[in-house]
A and B are shown apart, each in its own frame.
Chain A
Amino acid sequence: MDMQLKRGLLDVCVLAAIKKADSYGYQIIKDIKPYVEISESTLYPILRRLEGAEQLTVRSVEHAGRLRKYYHITSSGLERIAAFQEEWKEILAIYQFVTREESENA
């Protein structure tokens, strides 16, 4: 897959993983892994980037005698997901157009 495309997709996947409820690094990886390849070291820069863009916030919660960082989606993070859905409606329409051409030719 195109690198730039994959980067954008991973950003949205991470946001989607914390959309319903706040989540932490390891849980996010476990949630996303069935759908798209992601490793611990690819998640880290994504979280930093999304935090920098204020699409998520971080808070530390005590867990089993240590601190665990929970990530919370912001309104601009939710907007990012909405924008992604809009964009893919268009892409899906184009996809249907392309595959229709193919099936007519066959």
Chain B
Amino acid sequence: MRKSDFLAALGDALQGLPKRDINQSIEYYSEILDDQMEDGIREEDAVAELGDPKEIAKQILMDTALPKLMRAKGKPARTLRAWEIVLLILGAPVWASLLIAAASVLFSLYITIWAVIVSLYAVNLTFALGAVLGLIQGGIFLFAGNYMAAIFYFGAALACLGITVLLFFGFNKMTGKLVALSNQFVLWIKSLFLKRRNTK
């Protein structure tokens, strides 16, 4: 493949993104290829080493922020005909509600992941509060001269403290995994947008 073919294929595969972004990508690869050829590498070899322009475009799209990607991929490939627009408007009660439902499901899944994280730390905070209150209550009993109750509350407070520390480390680990999961979820949504274009 020649340089011009490679750049044309890359530009095609990025169609839908803002012109500025497409040009930026093409300029980058054009410069890299020119520099390689200047370094004495044959044009065909330099292009072959870069790999499939479709794969490169996919990577660039996956690195694009989700809102920009949605705008790019939501745009129809050609301008709509009048009857298509009429149909779209008439059908709006059906497709719009389905679309909103689908978006809501995805959004709620995303929120759920973060809700789990928040509730983990809420549980942890509860144990920490338990420890503090236990110490205070124990102190009150100590001054009141009720030693048995004081010992009981101090013991409970220490147990809460221990659980707090253990849970904190455990939850931190789980949170790391959950954050990774939510990142993967966003990547998956992105790949849904990319697939739509490829099947056309």
Contacts and interface: CB of A to CB of B under 8 A. Distances in A.
Contacts, number: 42
A49 B28 CA distance: 14
A41 B50 contact: yes
Contacts of B31: 24-26, 66-69
Would you call the interface of chain B mostly helix, strand, loop, or mixed?
A: helix
Contact of B25 (A44, A49, A66, A67): A44
A92 interface: no
Interface in B38-97: 38-39, 49-51, 56, 59-60, 63
Interface residues of B, number: 19
Contact of A69 (B25, B27, B60): B27
A68 B27 CA distance: 9
Contacts of A49: 63
Given A64-B38, A69-B28, A48 B63 contact: yes
B171 to A, nearest CB: 20
A40 interface: yes
Contact of B60 (A27, A40, A45, A68): A45
Interface of B: 24-25, 27-29, 31-32, 34-36, 38-39, 49-51, 56, 59-60, 63
Given A41-B51, A68-B31, 4 more contacts: A26-B36, A41-B50, A41-B56, A67-B31
